[in-house]
């Protein structure tokens, strides 16, 4: 009867230290085999190789998350552009009347961009509060960053605000170039 003891370790790891430890790999194998010639020596790696392997996995994860973040930023910008374009198209007659009454195109642009800035600012505040609430769940996934890092929160808020302003500029420019006669003519 073959009884297997599951509490016994399946393998052992040994660390060799000192100058020239890498060159002593063969001597370490021979020392193990002198104790028991049937023991397999599965792998021998330097600590640099172990660290490099662990960092490689982390680097791949960070690259994947970075790509996902860029895609999310682009989708957010496209979404904001779409909302702003739709909002401007709903106000075409109003903009045409303002232009006919003498409003300067630059003032029309500023008004549309200011509206987008207010919407983006509200979204950033709501998003920052949500992110602040989720930091306790995501704290273990962060590397060399505190969960409530003000530089990260502030920097990303500035980036997202700039993206919001850029996404609103094109509809604002288009609205400012609308002929008042065309705008009041209707759909």
Single pTM value for the model: 0.60
Please indicate whether residue 134 or residue 10 has the higher confidence score (pLDDT): 134
Q: Are residues 57 and 104 in the same domain?
A: no
Q: Are residues 51 and 135 in the same domain?
A: no
Q: Which pLDDT tens digit goes with each residue over 118-148?
A: 988 998 999 889 988 888 777 777 667 777 8
Please indicate whether residue 25 or residue 71 has the higher confidence score (pLDDT): 71
Q: Are residues 121 and 48 in the same domain?
A: no
* Structural domain contains residue 5: no
- Is the predicted pLDDT of residue 3 greater than 60, yes or no? no
What local confidence, expressed as pLDDT, does residue 6 receive? Answer: 64
Cα–Cα distance for residue pair 31/41, rounded to 1 Å: 11
Q: Please give the residue range of the domain that contains residue 130.
A: 77-185
Q: Are residues 176 and 94 in the same domain?
A: yes
pLDDT bracket for residue 68 (50, 70, 90)? very high
What local confidence, expressed as pLDDT, does residue 126 receive? Answer: 94
Q: Are residues 89 and 121 in the same domain?
A: yes
The number of domains in the chain is 2
What local confidence, expressed as pLDDT, does residue 67 receive? Answer: 95
Q: Are residues 100 and 145 in the same domain?
A: yes
* Structural domain contains residue 172: yes
Please indicate whether residue 142 or residue 66 has the higher confidence score (pLDDT): 66
Please indicate whether residue 108 or residue 3 has the higher confidence score (pLDDT): 108
What local confidence, expressed as pLDDT, does residue 4 receive? Answer: 58
For residue 54, give Cα distances in angstroms to 51, 59, 111: 5, 9, 52
* Structural domain contains residue 68: no
Q: What percentage of the chain carries pLDDT values higher than 70?
A: 91
- Is the predicted pLDDT of residue 111 greater than 60, yes or no? yes
Report H helices in the chain. 25-35, 47-90, 92-100, 105-138, 150-176, 180-185
- Is the predicted pLDDT of residue 115 greater than 60, yes or no? yes
* Structural domain contains residue 147: yes
């Amino acid at each position: 009867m073959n009884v297997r003891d599951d509490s016994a370790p399946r393998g052992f790891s040994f660390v060799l230290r000192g100058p020239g430890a890498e060159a002593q790999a063969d001597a370490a194998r021979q020392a193990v085999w002198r104790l028991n010639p049937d023991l397999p020596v599965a792998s021998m790696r330097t600590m640099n190789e172990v660290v490099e392997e662990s960092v490689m996995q982390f680097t791949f994860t960070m690259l994947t998350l970075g790509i996902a973040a860029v895609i999310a930023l682009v989708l957010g910008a496209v979404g904001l552009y779409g909302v702003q374009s739709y909002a401007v198209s709903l106000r075409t007659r109003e903009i045409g009347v303002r232009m006919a009454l003498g409003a300067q195109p630059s003032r029309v642009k500023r008004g549309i961009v200011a509206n987008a800035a207010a919407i983006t600012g509200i979204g950033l505040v709501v998003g920052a509060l949500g992110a602040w609430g989720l930091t306790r769940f995501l704290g273990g996934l962060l590397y060399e960053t505190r969960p409530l890092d003000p530089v990260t929160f502030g920097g990303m808020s500035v980036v997202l605000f700039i993206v919001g302003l850029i996404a609103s500029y094109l509809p604002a420019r288009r609205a400012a170039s609308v002929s008042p006669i065309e705008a009041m003519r209707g759909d």
